[in-house]
């Protein structure tokens, strides 16, 4: 392949870890910080939105978002993310990583700010505005997934490529943690400045009108880190792999990398002939692509789909699970502002003790253990701990046992991030050819978001109590939290069976440069699991498989 022969790309592969590697991690990582903050901060304020805009003075419970509104608020950004991953992934291979990278960041900044604004003060106007701008916020976030992964993969050296991509992705955990800290700070300030009685004491005064600023400040804060990195993102040169192998401008790639590596690189003779090799110019919907990369793409999409059903269900609805077991007090015993504080405190503790450490364990061990081992281990441990809290659920909800439940639940997050949540992001950035790398990562990530949408909408209804007298206003009876957790455990178990599609130990990226892997038909044996039945979104890639 061309990447094996061009001197400028050899220089990148063997380059020692330098300042520009860490600069790239910070620049790309701050995008992921913003992505995670914006996607998950909404779960901190949905209860408050219900109290503010759907207050019913005759109800014994505080106001809550109607089912269709709650589904839209939680899921609309994921829908936008899915579309953005497909569109910007494709565009990143057509126009270049750098050009598209700036577009996605601008969208994220503008839509983060606009999400906190409203057309009118009525519930319909506020929710419509919020959902509209969160969709386009998600669209911009979607572009950041394939572009950040691809850029870091193409800048990194061979030895530590996995750790560098994992470090970018680890900023997702920092973003989730930051959302909790911001919510804690803002709610604490407002709680002291505008004290209010609990809902049980005074329904009307339990949510002061000033609380309307809390959710706006929280959702708008996500624009700040993105804005701070815009200048540096635009200063980054285009990646040498794109410039040389896709734009076919080897001279420019050599000049750019000479500056980055601070060494004098010379363009070898006949370099232009290398990148013009017609055997390397097959397209996405070609028999050659299907032969070389079809099954790995199916493996990446299926695994990511399964993971995100469980991962996003757990993240977006932590507050409901913690309320169900009594770790967060009953809503009627708190005022609106204090409820935000309690939800933020619970989610911040989970992020601090399990989510964030899981990401950085992956950074430390990805190039030692390998992708296959980490992904398989992560799914296995997620399955074990999910079943461990689901089957004896009635034991864990007793007051004396709640801490044990929280610890076990936290461990599912730890092994999600020291496991498939990281590897599903890393692998697609390594195993596909440069001219299709961003597109294939976008397809893989979009399939994951399809799973997230299934989880976000499905868990919203499924977790409702089976007793219709105990459901939230407007919701039909569900299967309950216990059975919902069992379902998530089953999904994790199926995911445990699927990594082999994209990660065979015989061709583990740990053993050789991931970008150079010749993916063999060994995957045909490992692909016997019926993942297509689990992942309807894979029909998007079916034409690739059957051409």
499 to each of 305, 337, 378, 424, 526, how far by Cα in Å?
A: 12, 43, 11, 9, 9
* φ, ψ dihedrals at 451, nearest 5°: -65, -40
* pLDDT above 80: residue 525: no
367 to each of 13, 398, 416, 426, 460, how far by Cα in Å?
A: 15, 42, 18, 11, 38
Q: Give the Cα separation of 463 and 470 in Å (integer).
A: 12
**Whole-number percent of the chain with pLDDT over 70:** 86
Max mean pLDDT among 101-115, 448-462, 507-521 falls in 101-115
CATH for 17-273+286-502? 1.20.1250.20
Rounded CA Rg of the chain: 24
The residue among 422, 430, 441, 513 whose CA lies nearest residue 100 is 441
* pLDDT above 70: residue 424: yes
More confident residue, 154 or 13: 154
Average pLDDT score, the chain:
83
Torsion of Cα atoms, 16 then 22 then 28 then 34, to 10°: 150
The whole-number average pLDDT for the span 202-224 is 93
What is the pLDDT confidence band of residue 499, given thresholds at 50, 70 and 90? low
Please report, in angstroms and rounded to a whole number, the separation of the first and last CA atoms in the chain: 23
24 to each of 166, 209, 333, 374, 445, how far by Cα in Å?
A: 13, 43, 47, 24, 21
Q: Give the Cα separation of 367 and 256 in Å (integer).
A: 27
How many Cβ atoms from other residues are within 10 Å of residue 202's Cβ?
A: 11
pTM > 0.75: yes or no = yes
Q: Give the Cα separation of 394 and 321 in Å (integer).
A: 13
CB contact at 8 A, 254 and 10: no
pLDDT tens for 445-454 read 999 999 999 9
How many Cβ atoms from other residues are within 10 Å of residue 57's Cβ?
A: 7
More confident residue, 193 or 317: 193
């Amino acid at each position: 392949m061309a990447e094996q022969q061009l001197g400028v790309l050899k220089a990148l592969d063997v380059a020692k870890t330098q300042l520009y590697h860490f600069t790239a991690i910070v620049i790309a990582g701050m995008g992921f910080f913003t992505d995670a903050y914006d996607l998950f901060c909404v779960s901190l304020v949905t209860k408050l939105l219900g109290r503010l805009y759907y207050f019913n003075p005759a109800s014994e419970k505080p106001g809550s978002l109607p089912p269709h509104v709650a589904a839209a608020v939680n899921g609309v950004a994921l829908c936008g993310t899915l579309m953005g991953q497909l569109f910007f992934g494709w565009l990143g291979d057509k126009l270049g990583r750098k050009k598209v990278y700036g577009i996605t960041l601008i969208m994220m900044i503008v839509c983060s700010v606009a999400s906190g604004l409203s057309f009118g003060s009525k519930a319909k106007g506020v929710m419509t505005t919020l959902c509209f701008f969160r969709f386009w916020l998600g669209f911009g976030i979607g572009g950041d997934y394939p572009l950040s992964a691809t850029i870091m993969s193409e800048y990194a050296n061979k030895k530590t490529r996995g750790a560098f991509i994992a470090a970018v992705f680890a900023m997702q955990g920092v973003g989730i943690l930051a959302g909790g800290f911001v919510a804690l700070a803002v709610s604490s300030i407002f709680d002291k400045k505008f004290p209010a009685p609990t809902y049980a004491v005074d329904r009307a005064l339990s949510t002061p009108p000033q609380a309307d600023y809390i959710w706006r400040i929280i959702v708008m804060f996500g624009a700040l880190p993105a804005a701070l990195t815009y200048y540096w993102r635009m200063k980054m040169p285009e990646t040498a792999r794109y410039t040389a192998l896709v734009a076919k401008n080897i001279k420019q790639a050599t000049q750019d990398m000479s500056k980055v590596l601070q060494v004098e690189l010379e363009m070898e003779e006949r370099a232009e002939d290398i990148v013009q090799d017609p055997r390397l110019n097959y397209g996405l919907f070609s028999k050659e692509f299907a032969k070389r990369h079809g099954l790995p793409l199916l493996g990446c999409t299926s695994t990511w789909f399964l993971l995100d059903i469980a991962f996003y269900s757990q993240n977006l609805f932590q507050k409901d699970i913690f309320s169900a077991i009594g770790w967060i007090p009953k809503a009627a015993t708190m005022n609106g502002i204090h409820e935000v504080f309690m939800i933020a405190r619970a989610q911040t503790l989970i992020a601090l003790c399990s989510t964030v450490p899981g990401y950085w364990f992956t950074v430390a061990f990805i190039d030692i253990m390998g992708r296959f081992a980490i992904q398989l281990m992560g799914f296995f441990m997620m399955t074990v701990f999910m079943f461990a809290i689901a089957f004896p659920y009635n034991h864990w909800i007793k007051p004396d046992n709640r801490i044990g439940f929280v610890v076990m639940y936290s461990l599912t997050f730890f092994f999600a991030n020291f496991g498939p949540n990281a590897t599903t992001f890393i692998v697609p950035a390594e195993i596909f050819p440069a001219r299709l790398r961003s597109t294939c990562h976008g397809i893989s990530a979009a399939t994951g978001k399809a799973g997230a949408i299934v989880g976000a909408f499905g868990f919203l209804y499924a977790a409702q109590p089976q007793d219709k007298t105990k459901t939230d206003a407007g919701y039909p009876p569900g299967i309950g939290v216990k059975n919902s957790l069992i379902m998530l455990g089953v999904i994790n178990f199926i995911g445990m069976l699927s990594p082999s599609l994209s990660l065979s130990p015989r061709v583990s990226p740990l053993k050789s440069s991931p970008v150079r892997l010749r993916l063999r038909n060994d995957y045909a044996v490992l692909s016997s699991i019926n993942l297509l039945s689990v992942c309807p979104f894979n029909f998007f890639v079916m034409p690739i498989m059957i051409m």
